[in-house]
Amino acid sequence: MFLCGWTTPPLHAQDISQIAQSDPLIITGAVGTQNTYHYSSAGNGYASPFSSMFYANLNVSVYGFNMPFSISYSNSNWEYNYPHFTLSLTPQYKNWTGYIGQSSMNMSSYVMNMGFNGIGVEYQGERFRAGIFYGVLHKAINDDPTDPFARSPQMKRVGWGFKVGYGTSTNYIDLYLLRAYDQPNSIDERWRSRVTPEENIVVGLKGGVMPTKWLSFTANAAVSAFNTDRTAPKIETDETQRFDKIFSTRYSSLARFAGDVGANVSLAGINASLIYRLIQPDYTSLGTYYMSNNYHSLGLTLSTVLFKRVALSATFSGQADNLTKRQLYTTNGYVYGAFASTRLGQHFNLSASYNGYLQNQSDGTAQVTDSTRVNRRMSSFTFTPSYNTESEHLGHTVSLSTAYTSNKDLNKYATGESDVKSLSLGLAYDLGVKAWEVNFMMSLNHQESRGYKTKYSSEIATLGASRSFLQQKNLTLSASCSLCYNEVEHQSKSLSMGGNLNCSYMLKEVHAFTAQACFNKYGDVNITKVRSHLDDTDISVSFSYAYTFSLLHIKSKATKQREAEEKKK
């Protein structure tokens, strides 16, 4: 399958010194076609009998800046694509980095994790670091208010901020600040009754210390002052007026806290991490995407290696919301899991895992009744052994995959209608015959799902083979066939069989030919009469061709020198 549409990357440059070493001009492209014929004895309601597509792509690269163009024709439809330029320059010189256009700057996750369209500069020294930026955090959405299909309005949001820090990767302290606000005049006046302008100032502090080689502590915290409506009346007091130049305290103002602290231990071959996080209700930073709030959590991770070959790890975390006790109910969640893997000898690998989630509900402003209490447990187990060996003539790989999941309502009044259990078993065998240069594949799969008074099962068997031909191995043939049986207990049964042939050929590394034929014969699923014979047939044949070319390549001195050195080797 060939892509005929291009996504234009932004204009982007890293180190200024590297631009001069880039090739001045490269013009490359591709033309191709893809044609498919489809037949179904059940009719052509879901697929066209014949489809054809032709395309041409051209990319112009000037000193590393790519400008792609494309045109395609498919089933009487024309599509054109041309470069939509987005300026995004990040020039670098020694310890300095500049930001021009669409950019992003690494800051605290509680302060800012989105990009900006503007300007900025950053300095990264051996220990001291600092950065500052100004730009648009998101554009205005200002469709016609009378249009019934108009998008939801959004004001233009502008922000500026800075960061400054000192230290190493283990002992450090960093300070962050973000000031962001909406511009009411950026949308139509008729929208302003539906959308209120917001503003925000966030101060964050992040640090870490390692008192010993086996123990370290980290902390990351932020305080946010947030106005849900910039047009709300100001609070006129001496204390609030001190900060009017950067933030106006209004009757819509909120002040909230978010942060986490962690401890990491690495001792006697055991690695452990403990982290506590708290995010107050309505904590908001206009420099972040959606962030969950009104909860606190505690998490623990452990890992070790036994006998230099058995890797073990375990995780546990608990979380509870309703910090202010103003919600109707409090939800508690617990996530836990364990993983183990080992290699026995030279050929045998084994891995197993368990993951669980427990959710329950307790009182808030209202009392939870036993009949409606949320109390649910979800569990999953996996077990995956594999064996591989290789001789002078043959290569063998056998793998078994098993997975079991359970979703159960633990409420003592539950009837089990929402309980689900699923089992998946898979066996795969690959055989490589070196003398024939052929790879054979076989797989068997069983899937079963049980719900309330329902059971679904599926059995699939697949055989396949592939081989590459010619001296350069540029001709590849592959074939596969499969048989599938599905059953919904006491309702329906279906049987299907299919085959696939594929041929691909690469000529002189620029011409790519692919031909494929698929066949599928299947029986209808009928809830009133069980059928086991095959009723309908689908056949599809496709052919595709692609030619890639280079029209012009003006090389830089650095490229010529690099090629000359490679030839000497």
pLDDT digits (tens, 9 = 90+) for 371-402: 888 999 999 999 999 999 998 899 999 999 99
The lowest-confidence range among 359-363, 480-484, 490-494, 542-546 is 490-494
Query: CA of 161: how far to CAs of 118, 120, 421, in Å?
Result: 12, 9, 51
Quote the percentage of the chain above a pLDDT of 90: 64
Q: Which two tokens stand for residue 296?
A: 């606190």
Residue 559 has pLDDT above 90, yes or no: no
Task: Enter the DSSP assignment of 557.
Answer: H
For position 533, what pLDDT does the model report? 57
For position 565, what pLDDT does the model report? 81
Distance CA(522)–CA(518), nearest Å, equals 13
- SS percent in the chain: helix, strand, coil, step 5: 5, 60, 35
AA identity, residue 415? T
pLDDT digits (tens, 9 = 90+) for 199-225: 999 999 999 999 999 999 999 999 999
| Average pLDDT across the chain, whole number | 89
Query: CA of 93: how far to CAs of 16, 133, 137, 557, in Å?
Result: 7, 18, 26, 21
For position 257, what pLDDT does the model report? 96
Residue appearing with tokens 């071959």: 269
Question: What is the pLDDT confidence band of residue 329, given thresholds at 50, 70 and 90?
Answer: very high
Neighbours of 551 (CB within 10 A): 11
Cβ neighbours for 80, distance < 8 A, ≥ 6 positions apart: 70, 71
Residue 2 has pLDDT above 70, yes or no: no
Distance CA(405)–CA(311), nearest Å, equals 23
Q: Which two tokens stand for residue 360?
A: 């329950």
**Measuring CA to CA, which residue among 121, 222, 117 is closest to residue 159?**
117
Integer-rounded Cα Rg, in Å, for the chain is 31
Q: Is the dihedral of CA 264, 265, 271, 273 positive or negative?
A: negative
The lowest-confidence range among 76-80, 185-189, 248-252, 362-366 is 76-80
For position 1, what pLDDT does the model report? 30
For position 20, what pLDDT does the model report? 64
**Measuring CA to CA, which residue among 249, 277, 248, 244 is closest to residue 110?**
277
Residue 128 has pLDDT above 60, yes or no: yes
For position 167, what pLDDT does the model report? 96
Question: What is the pLDDT confidence band of residue 13, given thresholds at 50, 70 and 90?
Answer: very low
DSSP secondary structure of 177-227? EEEEEEEGGGS-GGGTTT----EEEEEEEEEEEEEETTEEEEEEEEEEEEE
pLDDT digits (tens, 9 = 90+) for 512-553: 999 999 999 888 655 555 554 567 889 999 999 999 999 988
Phi (first) and psi of residue 185, to 5 degrees: -70, 0
Task: Enter the DSSP assignment of 253.
Answer: E
Residue 40 has pLDDT above 70, yes or no: yes
Task: Enter the DSSP assignment of 154.
Answer: B
For position 198, what pLDDT does the model report? 94
Cβ neighbours for 228, distance < 8 A, ≥ 6 positions apart: 196, 198, 252, 254
Between 198 and 20, the more confident residue is 198
| Average pLDDT estimate for 175-184 | 96
Question: What is the pLDDT confidence band of residue 414, given thresholds at 50, 70 and 90?
Answer: confident
Residue 74 has pLDDT above 60, yes or no: yes
Collapsed DSSP state (helix, strand, coil) of residue 16: helix
For position 248, what pLDDT does the model report? 83
